[in-house]
Amino acid sequence: MTQIGNKTLLIAISALLTVGIAFFGIIMLISETNSANKPLIYDERIDVIAKQFEWTFKYEKPVQVGDSTFYNTTYNMYVEVGKTYLLNITSIDVEHGFSVPDLNIKVDAIPGKYNTITLKITEKGRYTIKCFHYCGFGHETMVGEILAS
Ligand code: CUA
């Protein structure tokens, strides 16, 4: 009797788990569909271009760094705190991965394709950029920084 009871309980638990996972999957799907349909609202666009073994940033509006004005920078990406940026992430050679661990960002950088995210930094500071796909001999050196001021 106890054995049958245990079995029933096990079946009930696994059924509940299955329904739970399916439900979770549906919610994930819905939120993904929503984000795909919603136009991204942002203040400025920055193209993030990966190549062995560096990151280049092309700004829609030039950035002021000290006395200099730049439309492109390599290694450092300059942003203003509180502004929302559209990042268009791509590669011009092999597959790379754009990651900013402190901001929970991880996006593939793929040749011929633009992966898009929005970025809004609320605290001044420096945030390390790393490549997360092995992309060849200099992969480990493919780092950079977001400088938010
Ligand atoms: Cu680029 Cu690893």
- CATH number, position 52: 2.60.40.420
Whether residue 60 sits in one domain with residue 34: no
Structure tokens at 62: 């030039």
Whether residue 112 sits in one domain with residue 50: yes
78, 63 Cβ separation under 8 angstroms = yes
How far does residue 109's CA lie from ligand 1's centre (Å)? 9
Would you give per-residue pLDDT tens digits along the chain (149 residues)? 555 566 665 555 465 555 554 544 544 444 444 455 667 899 999 999 999 999 999 999 999 999 999 999 999 999 999 999 999 999 999 999 999 999 999 999 999 999 999 999 999 999 999 999 999 999 999 999 999 99
Whether residue 85 sits in one domain with residue 51: yes
Q: Looking at ligand 1, which atom is closest to the CA of residue 142? A: 1
Q: Looking at ligand 1, which atom is closest to the CA of residue 94? A: 1
* pLDDT value at residue 29: 45
Whether residue 131 sits in one domain with residue 64: yes
Whether residue 33 sits in one domain with residue 85: no
* pLDDT value at residue 95: 98
The overall pTM is greater than 0.85: no
* pLDDT value at residue 105: 98
How far does residue 80's CA lie from ligand 1's centre (Å)? 26
Whose Cα sits closest to atom 1 in ligand 1? 96
Structural domain including 11 reads 1-38
Q: Quick check: bond before 24 cis, omega within 30?
A: no
How far does residue 62's CA lie from ligand 1's centre (Å)? 26
Whether residue 126 sits in one domain with residue 76: yes
CA distance readout (Å), 37 to 30, 33, 112: 11, 6, 22
Q: Looking at ligand 1, which atom is closest to the CA of residue 91? A: 1
* pLDDT value at residue 27: 44
Whether residue 142 sits in one domain with residue 106: yes
Q: Could you give the number of structural domains in the chain? A: 2
How far does residue 78's CA lie from ligand 1's centre (Å)? 21
Whether residue 52 sits in one domain with residue 34: no
Cα–Cα nearest to 60, from 90, 36, 84, 37 = 84
51 Cβ below 6 A of ligand 1: no
Whether residue 51 sits in one domain with residue 5: no
Whether residue 106 sits in one domain with residue 61: yes
